[in-house]
Amino acid sequence: MTTANAIIVGASSHLSKEIARQLAEQKVSLVLFVQDPDAMAEFAASLPTKVDVLPLDIENPTAIISQLEKVWLSLEGAHLVLVNTGLNAYSEALPWEIEQDIIDVNVRGFAAICNTTFRLMREQGYGQIAAINSIAGLRGGPSVAYHASKAFAENYLEGLSMHAQRLKLPITITDIQLGLLDKAAMQKSKLWLPPLPKVAKQIVSAMQKGKRKVYVTKRWRLVAWLTLLLPEFIYNTRHWKAKKKK
Q: Where do contacts with ligand NAP occur on this chain (CB under 6 A)?
A: 10-13, 15-16, 34-36, 56, 58-59, 84-88, 105, 132, 134, 178, 180-182
Residue nearest to ligand NAP (CB): 86
Cross-strand bridge partners of residue 173? 129
CB 51 to ligand NAP: min, Å: 15
120 or 180: whose CB is closer to ligand NAP?
180
Three-state DSSP at 94 gives: coil
| Among the listed residues 180, 136, 179, the one whose alpha carbon sits nearest the alpha carbon of residue 154 | 136
CB 101 to ligand NAP: min, Å: 7
132 or 171: whose CB is closer to ligand NAP?
132
CB 24 to ligand NAP: min, Å: 17
39 or 230: whose CB is closer to ligand NAP?
39
For the sheet with 29-34, list strands across it. Answer: 51-55, 29-34, 5-9, 80-83, 127-134, 171-178, 213-216
86 or 127: whose CB is closer to ligand NAP?
86
In the DSSP assignment, the letter for residue 2 is P
Using an 8 Å Cβ cutoff, are 178 and 216 in contact? yes
CB 207 to ligand NAP: min, Å: 14
Q: Could you tell me how far CA 103 lies from the centroid of its own chain?
A: 15
